[in-house]
Structure 1
Amino acid sequence: MAEKQKEMSFLGHLEELRWHLVRSAAAIFIIAILLFVFQKQVYEYFLLAHRKPDFVTYQFFCDFFNMFGMDSTFCNVKFKDNLISLKPTQQLMNAIWSSLILGIILSFPYLLWEIWRFVSPGLTQNEVKRSKGFIFIASLLFFLGIAFSFYVIAPISIHFLYNYQITDLIQNNFTMDSHIGLVTNMLLGVAILFELPVLIYFLTKIGLVTPEFLKKYRKHALVVVLILAAIITPPDIASQVIVAIPILILYEISIKVSKMVIKKQQKDAQKSPRV
């Protein structure tokens, strides 16, 4: 009888998980459909915004270098040709795929909330109280990563890559897929990297990471960060440093987060009655 109740409980959890997944998928598809309806605005003002010479980041860097009396290529940003589409279905498929990716990005807080609703019944009352800010903090870090990628990494990378040329015998004719893929990959990649403090929080909670471990391997982490920065940015030192700095700051924040978790666990252990 107990085994049957346990089996029913397991099936009940599966049914509950299924509905969480269904609602999450529905949220993504609803937002994706709305984005697809307004695809022209999404492309012109977001996905292709970095191809406009008057983009805010180009203007900022131009004014910044001019303030120190230095010339900058950001003051004369030019993109020679429009992007090209090589297949009859390429624009349609790209619009669908981009809408889905942006749908995932915009629905991220709701997806976290669905995860929280599934996990929270298995937590203690104290754990629920301490984790109330999880959705807000994780969402904030995620969208900070999106903003940093959109306003800093993407324009610098696109400006560099579009102007890089080995020889005049080679002409750059970029496809829309390559450009949109570059932008969306950077958005998601950097946003996930910005979740580092949240990841460290949970790894510390389950005992896989400690502050001492993070401090000991700080130099190794620096190497990994630089490698990641080299992957998601063009191969110039300035862009890699710009990306590496906030990630290293997040790493230091993660060490402090890990310390807080350990201290809280030690306090709870002292308060709990000894058997």
Structure 2
Amino acid sequence: MTQNNSAGDSGLQESFLSHLYELRDRVIKSAIAIIIVFVSLVYWAPDIFHLFSQPLLQALPSGGKMIVTDVTGSFFVPMKVTMLVAFLIALPVVMYQLWAFIAPGLYQHERKLILPLVVSSYSLFICGMAFAYFLVFPTVFEFMASYNAPLGAEMSTDIDKYLGFAMNTFLAFGITFEVPVVVVVLVRMGMVSLAKLKEIRPYVIVGAFVVAAIVTPPDVLSQLLLAIPMILLYELGLLIARFYEPKPAADEATAGDTDPQATA
């Protein structure tokens, strides 16, 4: 009995270590992909940062410019922006490595669902960032610049502060655009019914404005630019979730699937 327990523990430990080694290899491959893209882009880091800062530069008054208050800011800030771009370009590779790691432990119907979710999540996140860059940034910067003229204040922003603001805004809008994916997953997995999500619509609308007030600058315009898309995307998620709502027949077919660990 003791020998059987020891053999079982040894097999479990070996299985855990093999998964750990595979995870390490996947992480290394993902990091290599990001580094390769970064090295390919690093020569154009100043140009990438200039493109990145265009929404603010266009909102500055005539003769206005960005400033550097940190000794190393003029070097590290463009590098950080280039690394962000490299990560976004290499993100499909990172997602593939993640998919390859978790796929053996998924049922067949789950594998069919994961791929569309990953593609849609990546696409929606990029759309959220594009929405922030092309619409939110110019609108907010011009709105804030209009407040400086009556004060006689010169608008000069430190490049590091601008990077922090842009990163937070990109993250906020990128996550916001994931709302349809979250709604579809909740309905498809049976965690929340579609009828319940429709019922809590008023609370979602209030929550959207609360979230917008927390993560955006303290002006009504930028809050509306985040809250309104969040509400519309929630409605889009409800519309799409109608096609993924589990049905009794689908549940019976799902119950017939075999455990992937048992068939391994």
- TM-score class normalised by the smaller sequence: 0.7 to 0.9
* Counterpart position of 2:35: 29
Identify the match of residue 48 of structure 1 among 35, 39, 53: 53
Matching residue's letter, 1:267: A
SS at match of 1:132: helix
1:249 alignment partner AA: L
2:44 maps to 1:86: no
| Matches of 1:38 and 1:260, distance apart in 2 | 45
CA distance in 1, matches of 2:115, 2:45: 36
Distance 1:132 1:87, change over 3 A: closer
The correspondence for 2:183, drawn from 192, 195, 200, is 200
Aligned residues: 249
Q: Which residue of 1 aligns with 2:250?
A: 268
Retained in 1: the 8 A contact 2:194–2:238?
yes
> 1:183 maps to which residue?
166
After superposition, where does 1:40-189 map in structure 2 within 5 Å?
40-45=46-51, 47-53=52-58, 78=61, 80-165=63-148, 168=151, 170-189=153-172
* Contact 1:160-1:234 at 8 Å conserved across structures: no
The whole-number CA distance in structure 1 between the counterparts of 2:63 and 2:209 is 32
The TM-score, its normalising length taken from structure 1, stands at: 0.79
Query: Is the CA contact (8 Å cut-off) linking 1:161 and 1:234 kept in structure 2?
Result: no
CA-CA distance at 1:44 after TM superposition: 1.9
- Write out per-residue CA displacement over residues 141-192 of structure 1, whole angstroms, 9 at most, x where no aligned residue: 1111121111111111222223323963654332111122222322222112
- Paired with 1:159 and 1:267, the residues of 2 have a C-alpha distance of 55
Q: Residues 27-55 of structure 1, C-alpha deviation per residue, up to 9 Å, x if partnerless?
A: 2222233332211220222x1111354xx
Relative distance call for 1:203 and 1:123 in structure 2 (3 A) is same
Structure 1 residue identity aligned to 2:83: L
What's the Cα RMSD here? 2.6
Q: Structure 2: which 5+ residue stretches go unaligned?
A: 1-6, 257-264
Q: 1:174 to 1:79 in 2, by over 3 A?
A: farther
> What is the letter of the counterpart of residue 249 of structure 2?
K
Cα gap change, 1:116/1:48 in structure 2, threshold over 3 Å: closer, same or farther? same
Contact 1:84/1:175 (8 A) holds in 2: yes
Partners of 1:149 and 1:206 lie apart in 2 by 31
Among 205, 209, 213, the alignment partner of 2:192 is: 209
Structure 1 residue 93 displacement after superposition: 1.8
Mean Cα displacement is larger for which, 132-141 or 232-241?
Answer: 232-241
Distance in 1 of aligned mates of 2:48 and 2:158: 18
Q: Residue 197 of structure 1 contacts residue 251 of structure 1 at CA under 8 Å; is this kept in 2?
A: yes
Q: How many angstroms does 1:207 deviate by?
A: 4.3
